[in-house]
Chain A
Amino acid sequence: MNDGQELAAAASAADPATGLRAVAALRKLVDQLEALQVRNAREHGWAWQAIADALGVTRQAVHQKHAHRTGR
């Protein structure tokens, strides 16, 4: 972490606006990474069940959320 970032962190880590925004951003980031990783796993021939197990969710949940995006 560089000086600027450290300063920003020190100044705003306890600020609710920053904290909440960070949580929302993290959620967005997770969604994007999940879509990418599921797509990649499917391209590598992973079954929906295997993907679901790795994500710790049900097969139905992962299929419903991602099947339309991967086109399968």
Chain B
Amino acid sequence: MFERFTKEARQVVLATVATAAETGADKAEPEHMLLAVAAADGVGGRVLAGFGVTADELRAARASESRTARLTDEEIHALSALGIDAEEVFRRVEEAFGPDALDPPAVEPSRRRRGLLGGPFGREAKKVLELSLREAIALGHRHIGSEHILLGILRAGVSGPMANVLAEHEVSYDGAKQRALDELRRSP
């Protein structure tokens, strides 16, 4: 299904898989795709930059998530009702093993890369790839570029702290579409 992808869109797909593997994720998700689009110097990346969204900000949001992914405030509160001081557990673990000890270790990409088609993508990421094809068709484009992947991501929706970054910069599907068309008119 990648034959209509532009060179740049293929690089985004490869970067998505690499990003997922770096973070130790089992499968690539729309969040990894969003980061890959933002990091690539293509139409999709320029659209995001137009909203003020950078790869660095998305990365920072993800990093802050992995630090709090351990337990939510509600969970910590529930444990304290049982007399378990989770904060104290974390403090002792960090004392013994260092600050990132409870975060999953990075997995070497080669260990996880089980072939590029289908395998490394989670269900939502596959949906994004399908949606990007649909976006291209709907716009009457013969190619699938990073801008279509971005529109696919926004259609499917991202979860977690990256969604907050998008919301803060008021990134919408309609707005992104308009910016993408403007970009393409400027540099077809």
User: Which A residues are closer than 8 A to B by beta carbons?
Assistant: 1, 5, 8-9, 12-13, 15, 18-19, 21-22, 24-26, 28-29, 32-33, 35-36, 39-40, 68-71
Contacts and interface: CB of A to CB of B under 8 A. Distances in A.
Mostly, the A contact residues are helix
Contacts of A18: 77-78, 81
Interface string B56-93: 00000000000000110011111111111110010001
Give the interface size bracket for B toward A.
20 to 34
Given A25-B71, A40-B97, A9 B80 contact: yes
Contact of A9 (B70, B83, B93, B104): B83
Interface of B: 24, 70-71, 74-86, 89, 93, 97, 101-102, 104-105, 107-108, 111
Give the top 9 A-B pairs by smallest Cβ distance, nearest first: A25-B75, A22-B78, A21-B78, A9-B81, A12-B81, A22-B82, A18-B78, A5-B80, A32-B102
A28 B107 contact: no
Contacts of B81: 8-9, 12-13, 15, 18-19, 22
